[in-house]
Chains A and B, each alone.
Chain A
Amino acid sequence: MNTLRQFSVLPGFGLSLGYTLVYLSLIVLVPISAVFIFTSQLSLSEYWQVVTSPRVMASYQLSFGTSFLAAGINAVFGVLLAWCLVRYSFPGKRIVDALIDLPFALPTAVAGIALTALYAQNGWLGQIIEGYFGIKVAFTPIGILIALVFIGLPFVVRTVQPVLEEIDTELEEAASSLGASRWQACRYVVLPVLLPAIMTGFALAFARAVGEYGSVIFIAGNIPMVSEITPLMIISKLEQYDYTGATAIASVMLIVSFILLLLINLLQSWTAKQTGRNA
């Protein structure tokens, strides 16, 4: 303890750490460890059988794949939105700014039903897309992707926005006065500073998308091996009163998500170091 005290300049380290650990345990660790305790009722081979059955495997691919893609799309367009909101002023800017948070506030089931109504064969957008391009959106994995993009959007915008606000336009002006083209200024001056924030936003959007149920379930179509997301597999286990099977799949989701988030965090701190910034 003595050594710790020496390192800490701020008082109250013990108290705040204690509080942090207790709070985290109550809110996060205890419920999550319940998942693993429930799962441990299965033997290893039973566990393996449950979590690798063909339908479940197909659902992992779909859930993690679409979540990753959706987070990627949000990373690109979220930055554009944040850029527009920070750098320009236009009438109604505050309204646009508020609109971005709507996916947070809307009950996900409402979002799901609205999106389905819009993109179904007889919906406004669905009609056009299917009529002109021959692409079915609702009740296919594309529909799932759209729902996940919708719910993940605020994460990237809200993490990038404050960082972008802090960047002085003078930096870009300096770059351009030193002979950099507009593109070079963006690529070598602005982007490196933004990158850690973009990755945080990406990670949040991804994590949210992996666990999403309400908005996806209406638009997915839920055809086994094609458009069943992993949370639906958990629900169908529960409908069969297979509590341990449900927690087994949940544990896989938790472990994979945790590893992916850890990797993204590591990558983020690495890029932060590279660009000499503490994110």
Chain B
Amino acid sequence: MTFKKRLSLLPFIISAAVTSQQLIAKDITLLNVSYDPTRELYQAFNPLFIDYWKQRTGDDVTIKQSHGGAGKQARAVIDGLQADVVTLALAYDIDAIAEKTGNIDSNWEEKLPNNSAPYTSTIVFLVRKGNPKNIKDWDDLVKPDIQVITPNPKSSGGARWNYLAAWGYAEEKYGSKEKAKDYIKQLFKNVPVLDSGARGATNTFVQRGIGDVLLAWENEAFLAINELGPDQFEIVVPSVSILAEPPVAVVDKVAEKHGTKEVAEAYLAYLYSPEAQGLAAKHYYRPVLPALADPKDIARFPEIKTFTVKQKFGSWQQAQKTHFSDGGEFDQIYTVK
């Protein structure tokens, strides 16, 4: 076949491809870009939603999942990854996507209940079995003979929750920003290794045997105990901690382009259904509607007093600027002697 002949076939091939796509248009594909610790949760949730959507509309949905460090995932979306929905670790990451690409409406937080966070978690302490250093609360972390493991808040979203939890506690307990600053400085003096991500920090604590206490998300702490055996580690719940709200949002412009906006919105809304709320509790996330979940799962969560980022720091944007930007509070711990 000559080149010209082949060229003349091209329009047919293209039109054939287009029509075949139209014929199977009821097969919808959604891309959910999420972060590492939600892998198991969405693996269980996606089949539920697929059934639900099939019953409601008769359409088949295929859901693709992408997991990775929250910051990296958000960057991938900014750089052009065609996510229909994002389910990330902090509002700041979704704000960043909204701001840099304009693909997410700026009022995304108000579109779903509870600031668009269908499940929450909090920051707890993971200590070695028997709690040999007798760590009970945030105060104990700044004692001279304690080693604390937490990742670097500049490179890890999870670590920012840890940092803000500690800061919030200190500000409440000691009554001023100055004193909170001293406390944080003391705390990071006790950190021998700052891993770049949360999983790395868990490794350092669990595999390398370094440190007396690991600051961790509650769901991750439960998972660590489950996987490594309750004979090695235990969870200590501090007197007060931060309410971690991992938010979800539809990437409006991308979903509109894909024609998936309706199903994307339904997907996120379904996270608030009894089935999904029960599933979240099963995977150690605290559901925002605990009445819908299995009481046995809920009973695993200890009572804890929490504060939100909004209450203590105004917003994620503000917290980011004051604490984690260049020259901010975190940098000063190390650069100001």
A239 within 8 A of B: yes
Task: Encode contact with B along A212-229: 1 for CB under 8 Å, 0 otherwise.
Answer: 000001100111110000
Contact A239 B335 (CB under 8 A): no
Contact A55 B200 (CB under 8 A): no
Contact B193 A221 (CB under 8 A): yes
With A54-B335, A122-B208 in contact, is A239–B71 under 8 Å at CB? yes
With A50-B326, A239-B156 in contact, is A55–B209 under 8 Å at CB? no
Count of CB-CB pairs between chains A and B under 8 Å? 75
Q: Which of B56-88 contact A (CB under 8 A)?
A: 71-72, 74-75, 78
Contact B208 A121 (CB under 8 A): yes
A residues in contact with B200, CB < 8 Å = 217-218
A53 vs B74: C-alpha distance in the bound complex, in angstroms? 26
Give the distance to chain B from A34, nearest Cβ to Cβ, in Å: 13
Contact B100 A241 (CB under 8 A): yes
Beta-carbon nearest neighbor of A226 in chain B:
B334
A54 vs B155: C-alpha distance in the bound complex, in angstroms? 17
B residues in contact with A241, CB < 8 Å = 74-75, 78, 96, 100
Contact B155 A53 (CB under 8 A): no
Count A-side interface residues using an 8 Å CB cutoff: 28
Contact B335 A224 (CB under 8 A): yes
A235 within 8 A of B: yes
Give the distance to chain A from B201, nearest Cβ to Cβ, in Å: 10
With A116-B208, A240-B320, A241-B78 in contact, is A224–B334 under 8 Å at CB? yes
A232 vs B71: C-alpha distance in the bound complex, in angstroms? 14
Contact A222 B331 (CB under 8 A): no
Give the distance to chain B from A147, nearest Cβ to Cβ, in Å: 14
B325 within 8 A of A: yes
A139 within 8 A of B: yes
A residues in contact with B331, CB < 8 Å = 53, 55, 224
A236 within 8 A of B: yes
A245 within 8 A of B: yes
Q: Which of A238-266 contact B (CB under 8 A)?
A: 238-242, 245
Contact A120 B208 (CB under 8 A): yes
Contact A139 B193 (CB under 8 A): yes
Beta-carbon nearest neighbor of B210 in chain A:
A121
B20 within 8 A of A: no
A217 vs B193: C-alpha distance in the bound complex, in angstroms? 11
Give the distance to chain B from A246, nearest Cβ to Cβ, in Å: 11
Contact A121 B209 (CB under 8 A): yes
A225 vs B334: C-alpha distance in the bound complex, in angstroms? 7
Contact A232 B196 (CB under 8 A): yes
A117 vs B207: C-alpha distance in the bound complex, in angstroms? 8
Contact B155 A232 (CB under 8 A): yes
Q: Which of B69-127 contact A (CB under 8 A)?
A: 71-72, 74-75, 78, 96, 100
With A117-B208, A121-B210, A224-B334 in contact, is A238–B193 under 8 Å at CB? no
Give the distance to chain A from B10, nearest Cβ to Cβ, in Å: 27
B residues in contact with A235, CB < 8 Å = 155, 196
Task: Encode contact with B along A62-90: 1 for CB under 8 Å, 0 otherwise.
Answer: 00000000000000000000000000000
With A239-B71, A241-B75 in contact, is A221–B320 under 8 Å at CB? no
Task: Encode contact with A along B186-201: 1 for CB under 8 Å, 0 otherwise.
Answer: 0000011111100010
**Contacting residue for B326 out of A123, A217, A239, A245, CB 8 A:** A245
Give the distance to chain A from B230, nearest Cβ to Cβ, in Å: 21
Q: Which of B282-337 contact A (CB under 8 A)?
A: 320, 324-327, 331, 333-335
Give the distance to chain A from B316, nearest Cβ to Cβ, in Å: 12
**Contacting residue for B334 out of A55, A221, A239, CB 8 A:** A55
A245 vs B327: C-alpha distance in the bound complex, in angstroms? 13
Give the distance to chain B from A144, nearest Cβ to Cβ, in Å: 13
**Contacting residue for B209 out of A120, A221, A239, CB 8 A:** A120
**Contacting residue for A217 out of B75, B191, B196, CB 8 A:** B196
A235 vs B75: C-alpha distance in the bound complex, in angstroms? 11
Give the distance to chain A from B75, nearest Cβ to Cβ, in Å: 6
With A121-B209, A239-B154 in contact, is A225–B335 under 8 Å at CB? yes
A residues in contact with B162, CB < 8 Å = none
Q: Which of B201-233 contact A (CB under 8 A)?
A: 207-210
With A217-B196, A224-B331 in contact, is A236–B208 under 8 Å at CB? no
Q: Which of B139-158 contact A (CB under 8 A)?
A: 152, 154-157
B residues in contact with A117, CB < 8 Å = 207-208
B residues in contact with A55, CB < 8 Å = 331, 334-335
Beta-carbon nearest neighbor of A122 in chain B:
B209
User: Across chains A and B, which 9 residue pairs bring their CB atoms closest together, nearest first?
Assistant: A224-B334, A236-B154, A239-B71, A122-B209, A120-B208, A222-B194, A236-B155, A54-B335, A221-B193
A-B contact pairs, 7 of them (CB 8 A): A54-B335, A139-B192, A224-B194, A224-B333, A236-B154, A239-B71, A239-B156
Q: Apart from A55-B331, A139-B210, A241-B96, what are 11 other A-B pairs with CB-CB below 8 Å?
A: A55-B334, A116-B208, A122-B209, A217-B196, A222-B195, A223-B192, A223-B194, A223-B334, A224-B334, A225-B335, A236-B154
